[in-house]
Amino acid sequence: MKCNLKFTPTPQLVVRKIIGTIILILLITLTPSTHPIWFGLEGILLLGLLWWRRVPPRCVLRRLLILSPFVAGTALAAQYSATGVDWKILALRSTLCLLTIIAFAETTAVSDLLRGLRLIRVPTLLVTTLALMHRYLFVLADESSRMNRARAARTFTTGRRLAWLQAASVAGQLFVRATERAERVYDAMCARGWKT
Amino acid sequence: MHIPDGFLDAKTALTTATLSAIAVSFALRHVRRELPPRRVPLLGLSAAFLFAAQMVNFPIAGGTSGHLLGGTLIAVLLGPSAAVVVVTTVLIVQCFLFADGGVLALGANIFNMGLVATLGGYAVYRCVNLMWPGPRGRTVALTVAGWSSTIFAAFSCAGQLAWSQTLVWEIAWPVMTSTHALIGLGEGIISALILIAITRTRPDLVATSSLGVTPVRWREFSFLCLLISLGLACFVAPFASSAPDGLETVAIQGGFAHRALAPLRSVLAADYQIPGLTSPALSTALAGMLGIAAVLGLALLISRLVLREASPKKMLRE
């Protein structure tokens, strides 16, 4: 679900984007906590970027809300442990880093990302695995929710123990189907001239 | 357990990234050499399976629900090096697409969940399975392995957080380990149930090396384990030696936590109070062993309940 994709960038541009993202995250991580004004500047920069690329604020907010519990938990634990780390700074810093990755993820198509990864010499096997995973991620997720729906339609309300057994059988069936699909995918790849 | 950015300092992030990069490239080379080309798509499909299987929820008391983490299950099904590649792929996608886990912390996350959890869990599985072969032994082994893999990962995660001085070790360890002792229980049971379900539909998939993945060569495996212990020596060893009091209190607290989980535990704990409490290392080791024994007993119970219920004889009778 990409929110804004206007043009397909060249792989070089994607590589630059990856490097830029990493540098920005490094900057945020290395900002000294004695000068909180810098966090404000970085935040304004990020919000400006998000506004410029027209990423809908609801997208960003939803993702931030899903991901914040761990940040909040650790920040809370840090408050009670006497390392001298200010939990507000900790939470602020990781929220800014989250914003950076969200901005990157929302504005980059996966196919472009894969091309960029190939360009920076990430091993082919890993890129192939990534590509196949992304291709079948939504297919298998659909399949699992379909199986769940079918199960819900055919069974009455059950006890908790039976519910575990059934959920496990759905997951097991999912693995079996994934394996069978992998065979067909291999045949299709060979038919298109794929070599290791 | 995905560590976000901003929680680790430079030295931790760099160390874990280096170790993970070495280990993953090693696993990739091993997989490329050993895996028949026919099975290459299976890696991607397994990664997608892991992602989709995490959406299947298991009801727990009070309306909450848990889901599979799955590194150990994949290691048992596909072999450890392939599992390292699969879990690494899942973590990369979670990081870049779903912003789950930080970019700079990616090395640490791969180290915890891709290496420590997967390989540690696999080692436990092999050990238990050697002692006890057969389908029931496999179920028990996977339950114990799933539980311990979660604990291992939590332990290493706590060490990293303490090493980068985000949390104090005395707080990080008990909090992470006690919560993950509960989470791991679910993980072990779910993994075992899924393995049983797969065995029932396609028993040929579970038999060793039927998926074309050679189990493992011990030389490779020991090299990977060496890398892991190197990392753990960095994160955990400095605290473990300098904080005996923390360890001791945690050992006692851990005892209480486990007693609530398994009635078996309270019987065993009576013996455990007599010797060894003066030496923190010994008492911790004892507490750990008792914890594992409790989980083993639980695993036995589950395997007996589930396997009896699903045995073909009973199905025929009905």
Does the pLDDT value for residue B244 go beyond 50?
no
Residues B278-297 have pLDDT tens digits of: 555 555 556 666 666 777 77
Better-predicted residue by pLDDT, B299 or A196: B299
Q: Where does B132-168 have alpha helices with state H?
A: 135-163
pTM of the model: 0.79
**Residue B146 domain flag:** yes
Unique residue bearing structure tokens 């955990």? B236
Q: Are residues B22 and B159 in the same domain?
A: yes
**Residue B294 domain flag:** yes
Number of domains in chain B: 2
Residue B193 touches partner A, C-beta closer than 8 Å: yes
Q: Are residues B24 and B51 in the same domain?
A: yes
Task: From chain B, pick out residues whose CB is under 8 angstroms from the CB of A117.
Answer: none
Domain boundary residue, one of B235, B251, B274: B235
Q: How far does B8 lie from chain A, in Å, by closest CA?
A: 9
Best B2, B3, B7 member to test A by mutation, with max A CBs in 10 Å, is B7
Domain boundary residue, one of B186, B213, B235: B235
Task: From chain B, pick out residues whose CB is under 8 angstroms from the CB of A145.
Answer: 55
**Residue B78 domain flag:** yes
What CATH number does the domain containing B54 carry? 1.10.1760.20
Query: Could you please report the per-residue DSSP string of B225-262?
Result: HHHHHHHHHHHTHHHHHH-HHHHHHHHHHHHHHHHHH-
**Residue B310 domain flag:** yes
Q: Are residues B252 and B185 in the same domain?
A: no
Residue B301 touches partner A, C-beta closer than 8 Å: no
Residues B1-15 have pLDDT tens digits of: 788 887 888 888 889
Residues B142-184 have pLDDT tens digits of: 999 999 999 889 889 888 988 888 777 877 778 788 888 888 8
Domain boundary residue, one of B177, B201, B235: B235
Residue B48 touches partner A, C-beta closer than 8 Å: yes
Mean pLDDT in chain B? 75
Q: CB neighbours of B290 closer than 8 A, spacing ≥ 6?
A: B255, B258, B265, B268, B269, B272
Q: Where are the domains of chain A?
A: 11-116, 123-191
Does the pLDDT value for residue A136 go beyond 70?
yes
**Residue B5 domain flag:** no
Mean pLDDT of A92-108: 84
Q: Are residues B201 and B274 in the same domain?
A: no
Mean pLDDT of B119-138: 84
CA B212 to chain centroid, in Å, comes to: 24
In terms of residue numbers, what domain contains B255? 243-318
Could you give the C-alpha distances from B214 to A152, B56, B235, in angstroms and in order? 39, 29, 32
Q: How far does A150 lie from chain B, in Å, by closest CA?
A: 14
Q: Are residues B156 and B288 in the same domain?
A: no
Q: What is the DSSP letter of B2?
A: P
Q: Are residues B218 and B118 in the same domain?
A: yes
Q: Are residues B160 and B218 in the same domain?
A: yes
